[in-house]
Structure 1
């Protein structure tokens, strides 16, 4: 049999080129990634609250500055103190197109036994900033100071309905529990109310359905500006600036309550390094944008950006710290 080698050489060469191209593409897919469909930013609370404001600020800056050209959608999935959002994210294994705003709930719900999911079930992407809880009452409330609130709760723990936002064990709730512990209040007798988000809590406060709303500082600002509410105290290590500069911390009022409500971003389980690298770059550009810093100043956020690698370490440390706190308060399982 005669073998037509001269005819086979082009075929063999072409096959070799195709093999090399496939190898190169496979290598690139491991090192370079871009969104392949619309981006989803999941918010574990209803529209209008602090979590929602964070997501929509990120969306706006990424789009306005064309840091990301792929369409970005914000999806509100309130309920269960974040559990509904996490269950949705859990199903999106290896999907780099979906992100979720994270809060201390991702840790405290697991520690307290309310959720089987925690940060290790996902891919930590970033820590963005800290926001401190404020204690708001209506402008016509007889409660004028933080000490007024403490005295009232000592006399009749069940006499005031206090909203802690979107779930038990969150930063707002822990800020209240720390006050109760410091002041010797009967924690289990307090009337704690949960809503799907801080915006709903503010509506309930102004509608006289509750007496005190514990919300992120940024949520309180529009209502404070219009004279609808009074802030009794803030669970921050020091006074904030802007409209809250005259509001004393709880420490100033003799009560030990410092509790930050940080905001971060987590991704789907088992994201690839190239996907994480893409979001590290996009978030680095975001956090260096003047518009982001302006939004932080307006909302009284304390910027504390950490990339994915540092976020893992931060969440590990926070888990240990919050477990110790919840165990001390009798809230761990």
Structure 2
């Protein structure tokens, strides 16, 4: 009798535990891309959307919504102030988000204001021109800037001090050019920037590599340099690095997600478990590679520690360029 009672109690406990796990799955999963369609945030959300769909992780399909403004600032503030406990919403971020946080560009909230969920891939900075551009190599571009910094118009998906601007500023500094002398047009996201360059409104784009590779495959652009320590594998192996062309700069771009500050541990851990499983799968690795992202597996506490360390380093870098408020 005692054994039977124990079995019943155990079965009831297991059912209750299973029910808790089921309850944790959001009924309306959503990924916020904090820019207009077509850029790196969009790529990040759609990678999670497709990965979870293929793995059968969600009963309801994940929708992608767009919340442009301040290169992530509007979305960051909206999630914290209006949706702090929304268990169905994840929001994309990148290294550019962390750079803006380091400079206080997200308003009164800092890097401790959200729950950092998962880093799912690494991109690298890239300097690109149209396929018919007179600049065939990075030294061609640098030489033109040395002669007249105002002769070249850069486009990038952020304001001065943002990630894309920082990439051009670091290159300029290495070439002995004052970054303040560069002509720079800011757009809201990488998709707009690329469209502007293809339309002839700007001559050079500074962006994440993953944002421009579709146009590279279409032979509409030329990538002058990838900002990685060494050449990337696979189809990207033909793209030269800035380092091998004489400019010692590397700019890795983490891509991932955060959640609101008041999301419960149970709900947060449900998402964390899905990403832990997803990031360990070969199918997702293939999906990520197709989008020209390199592997990165950071979730929960590990990602939080990485983010805090990265923000501290960006504060130092921003101070060097006189960008701190």
Q: TM-score, normalised by structure 2?
A: 0.89
CA contact under 8 A between 1:82 and 1:106: conserved in structure 2?
yes
Choose which of 31, 36, 52 in structure 2 pairs with 1:46: 36
Specify the alignment match of 1:226 in structure 2. 218
Specify the alignment match of 2:53 in structure 1. 63
Q: Could you report, residue by residue, the CA deviation over 1:14-43 in whole angstroms, capped at 9, with x for unpaired residues?
A: xxxxxxxxxx99999998851343011000
Specify the alignment match of 2:67 in structure 1. 77
- Consecutive unaligned residues in structure 1, runs of 5 or more: 1-23
Choose which of 91, 94, 110 in structure 1 pairs with 2:101: 110
* CA distance in structure 1 between the aligned counterparts of 2:201 and 2:174, rounded to whole angstroms: 27
Specify the alignment match of 2:257 in structure 1. 265
Specify the alignment match of 1:169 in structure 2. 161
- Consecutive unaligned residues in structure 2, runs of 5 or more: 1-13
Specify the alignment match of 1:144 in structure 2. 136
CA contact under 8 A between 1:134 and 1:217: conserved in structure 2?
yes
Shift of 1:318: 0.4
Specify the alignment match of 2:246 in structure 1. 254
Specify the alignment match of 1:13 in structure 2. none
Shift of 1:291: 2.6
The alignment yields a C-alpha RMSD, in angstroms, of 2.3
* CA distance in structure 1 between the aligned counterparts of 2:234 and 2:66, rounded to whole angstroms: 29
Moved more, 164-173 or 257-266: 164-173
Specify the alignment match of 1:11 in structure 2. none
* CA distance in structure 2 between the aligned counterparts of 1:46 and 1:185, rounded to whole angstroms: 32
* CA distance in structure 1 between the aligned counterparts of 2:50 and 2:85, rounded to whole angstroms: 25
- Once the two structures are superposed, the pairs formed by residues 130-209 of structure 1 within 5 Å of their partners are 130-209=122-201
- Once the two structures are superposed, the pairs formed by residues 302-317 of structure 1 within 5 Å of their partners are 302-317=294-309
CA contact under 8 A between 1:205 and 1:211: conserved in structure 2?
yes
Question: Between Structure 1 and Structure 2, whose CA radius of gyration is higher?
Answer: 1
Shift of 1:186: 1.4
Alignment CA distance shift 1:35-1:27 (3 Å): closer
Specify the alignment match of 1:8 in structure 2. none
Alignment CA distance shift 1:70-1:289 (3 Å): same
Shift of 1:190: 0.8
Specify the alignment match of 1:16 in structure 2. none
CA contact under 8 A between 2:101 and 2:311: conserved in structure 1?
no
* CA distance in structure 2 between the aligned counterparts of 1:329 and 1:69, rounded to whole angstroms: 48
How many pairs were matched up? Answer: 311
